[in-house]
Amino acid sequence: MNDILIEAKNLSMFFPITKGIIRQRRIAEIKAVDDVSFFVRKGETLGLVGESGCGKTTLGRCLMQLIRPSSGEVYLEGENLCNMEAEQLRLIRQKMQIIFQDPFDSLDPRMTAGEIVAEPLRVHTKIRGNELKEKVAGLLRVVGLDSSMASRYPHQFSGGQRQRLGIARALSIRPKFIVCDEPISALDVSIQAQIINLLEDLQSEFDLTYLFIAHDLSVVRHLSHRVAVMYLGKIVEIANRDALYRVAKHPYTVALLSAVPIPDPVVEATRERIILKGEPPSPIALPPGCNFHPRCPIGIEACREEIPSLREIERGHWVACHLA
């Protein structure tokens, strides 16, 4: 356990729903992240998957303290980020950065590419003048952009180039941990492969640790060392990549994997596809017991009454299911 870089303990993020104009009162809350615990080791990639609205992005932002969680703790190299004041967090951000999902909205249109990449260096270091220009040019080359592009504005780049620019900005202060919040979902398929290969190369070159949030299970399998599956604010399964794809234990994970296309027409024609019934419950009014039980094909009475805890059923394989 000494190689853990970042760890979340009982992390929750509830967004209040209020009513009234002059005197507002809380009438409900959205449970975006609900009592989540996990860790990421140094140098590894933890893939985080789940359907839209399950709380993946909120969880990533809570780790970064871009959103202050409602409860729970986040430890980076043993330091509790949730207890830190703004100035302490500003200093600790040198160790962690985020690559945002949308490369079109995450870059300031009034700043040049050089200014965007240089901004973290201006905030966190004393590098200035020609040294700063050389540093920016080097970062652009590392992510596959020409250093002459430093004078261009974001609208003059393609989608893939903008995402490379966002990666260069995240790398500029040499962080140890990067949250990759669906960094390829807004890109063409051909560009997605380039960005994935770039992230892999940068991880080995700079000894980076990733939390890789995605919908595409094939991409997650290719890039991740371990995979966490999230459903309605809770992590339902965590396992090593190969173990999860070989013998998934949670019925939701099994259903997700059954939807992944296999590039073999014979296998694809004979394998069973699991179709989940109904829609996910509202995060405002979660069902009692297991969140997944209204759609679960193998649920029992205990699933409707008792919330399953995330427990280790095999070495390194954690599942939140009564039947696992």
pLDDT digits (tens, 9 = 90+) for 243-266: 998 899 999 999 988 887 777 777
pLDDT at 27: 86
pLDDT at 272: 76
pLDDT tens-digit readout, 153-187: 999 999 899 999 999 999 999 999 999 999 988 78
With bands split at pLDDT 50, 70 and 90, how would you rate the model's confidence at 139?
A: very high
For residue 109, which of 51, 175, 157, 154 has the smallest C-alpha distance? 154
131 vs 278, higher pLDDT: 131
Q: Is residue 29 predicted with pLDDT exceeding 80?
A: yes
Q: What is the pLDDT of residues 290-318, one digit of tens each?
A: 999 999 989 899 999 999 999 999 999 99
pLDDT for 188 beyond 90: no
Listed range (204-208, 236-240, 269-273) with the worst mean pLDDT: 269-273
Structure tokens at 121: 């260096």
- Whole-angstrom distance, CA of residue 61 vs CA of residue 63: 5
26 versus 5: the higher-pLDDT residue is 5
Average pLDDT over residues 79-102: 91
Range in 21-25, 44-48, 62-66 the model is least confident about = 21-25
Asked if the model's pLDDT at residue 19 lies above 70, the reply is yes
Distance CA 237, CA 248 (A): 8
Over the chain, what is the mean pLDDT? Answer: 91
> What order do you get walking across the sheet with 311-314 strand by strand?
96-99, 177-181, 209-214, 45-49, 226-231, 234-240, 317-319, 311-314
* 103-119: average pLDDT: 92
Residue 124 three-state SS: helix
Short-list 60, 59, 157, CA closest to 107: 157
- Stretch 233-246: mean pLDDT, rounded? 94
E strand or H helix that includes residue 230: strand 226-231
Residue 169's pLDDT is 94
pLDDT above 70: percentage of residues in the chain: 99
pLDDT confidence of residue 1: 60
| 57-71, 86-100, 253-267, 302-316: segment of lowest average pLDDT | 253-267
For 270-280, what is the mean pLDDT?
Answer: 80
